Amino acid sequence: MLEVRDIHSYYGGSHILHGVIMDLKEGELVCLLGRNGVGKSTTLKSIMGIVQPKQGSIRFNDKELIGSAPYQVARLGIGYVPEDRRIFRSLTVHENLLMGIKGRNKDNTGKNSWSIEQVYDLFPNLGKRRNNKGAHLSGGEQQMLTVSRTLMGNPRIILVDEPTEGLAPLVAKDVLDMLATVRKSGVTVLMVEQNFKLAVKVADRFYVMTKGQIVFEGDREALLAAEDVRKKYLEV
C-alpha cells in the first residue's frame, strides 16, 4: 500500500534521513519507535510532502509521492495528525469536525465515508463534548479530536506523530486504544511513538530508528525477543 525506499531528507544543510526503507500493508497499525531527534517525525513529514526528500521513492498505491505538495498527498488518501494537534481552540468539537470534511466529500455519503455521528458512536467522549470549545478539552480529548477531524477527510492511511506526548499514562492508553479502533475500522495507521510499553500492546509491526536509519523491523514477538535492540535504542 505504502512503500518508502531509500529516502534521504534534509533540513537545510543537515542530512536527517539516511536511506529510510519502510512498508505499510492495508489494515495495519505500524509503530515507528526511537528516541528524540532520530528522524521519526521527519519520516512522516517526508511521506506527507512537508519535507521533500532529495533522494529515494515514496509510492502510495503505485503512485509516486515525492514532488507532490501536502494537499495533493492528502487528496490521494493520506491523513496527517501533527504532534502539536492544531485544533481550532475557539470552535466547538462539532465545528472542528466539520472543518475536517474535504470539499468534494461534503456529503460524506460514500461507502467508506466517515460521518460525524459515526465518530460520536465510536468515541462517545467526543459526543458528550460536542458543544464544548476546543480550548476547554483535556490533552487526551484534544488528541482524539485531532484524529477524528483527520478521519472526516476519509483517508486510507493516517500518519500520527507522537499521539501520547505529554499525556498521563491512563489517558495515553485511551488514545492508543482509539487508534486501535481506527485500525479496526479499516484505516491503516502509521504512528510515531516513544512509549514502547504502551505501543507494543496495540501495534502489529514495529520499526526502530536511530540517527536517521531503520535498525529494526519486526512484529510484536520479534521486538519483545530483541532485548539488545530495546536496550540500545529505546530504553533510557
Domains in the chain and their CATH numbers?
2-233 (3.40.50.300)
pLDDT reading at 236 higher than 90: no
pLDDT at 112: 55
What does the pLDDT average to over 126-153?
Answer: 92
- DSSP assignments along 104-160, one per residue: GGTT--STT---HHHHHHH-HHHHHTTTSBGGGS-HHHHHHHHHHHHHTT--SEEEE
Residue for grid cell 467508506: 112
**Which of 91-100, 104-113, 121-130, 181-190 has the weakest average pLDDT?**
104-113
pLDDT at 227: 93
pLDDT at 235: 80
Long-range residue pairs from 33-37, CB within 8 A, at least 24 positions apart, any chain:
33/193, 33/194, 33/196, 33/199, 33/206, 33/207, 33/208, 33/209, 33/233, 33/234, 34/194, 34/208, 34/209, 34/210, 34/233, 34/234, 35/194, 35/210, 35/233, 35/234, 36/194
- What is the chain's mean pLDDT, rounded? 91
**How does pLDDT run across 3-13, given as a tens digit for each residue?**
999 999 999 99
pLDDT reading at 110 higher than 50: no
pLDDT reading at 84 higher than 90: no
C-alpha pair distances (Å), 194 with each of 109, 136, 222, 230: 37, 27, 18, 12
Confidence of residue 68 (pLDDT cuts 50, 70, 90): very high
**How does pLDDT run across 190-235, given as a tens digit for each residue?**
999 988 888 999 999 999 999 999 999 999 999 999 999 999 998 8
- DSSP assignments along 147-211, one per residue: HHHHHTT--SEEEEE-TTTT--HHHHHHHHHHHHHHHHTT-EEEEEES-HHHHTTT-SEEEEEET
Percent of the chain beyond pLDDT 90?
Answer: 74
**How does pLDDT run across 149-189, given as a tens digit for each residue?**
999 999 999 999 999 888 888 888 888 998 999 999 899 99
What does the pLDDT average to over 77-95?
Answer: 91
pLDDT at 86: 86
pLDDT at 16: 96
Q: 3-state secondary structure string, 68-83?
A: CCHHHHHHHCEEEECC
Confidence of residue 103 (pLDDT cuts 50, 70, 90): low
Q: CA 68, 89, 178: angle at the middle one, nearest 5?
A: 70
Confidence of residue 106 (pLDDT cuts 50, 70, 90): very low
Q: How far apart are CA 79 and CA 75, in angstroms?
A: 9
Q: Which has more confidence, 102 or 47?
A: 47
pLDDT reading at 105 higher than 60: no
Confidence of residue 108 (pLDDT cuts 50, 70, 90): very low
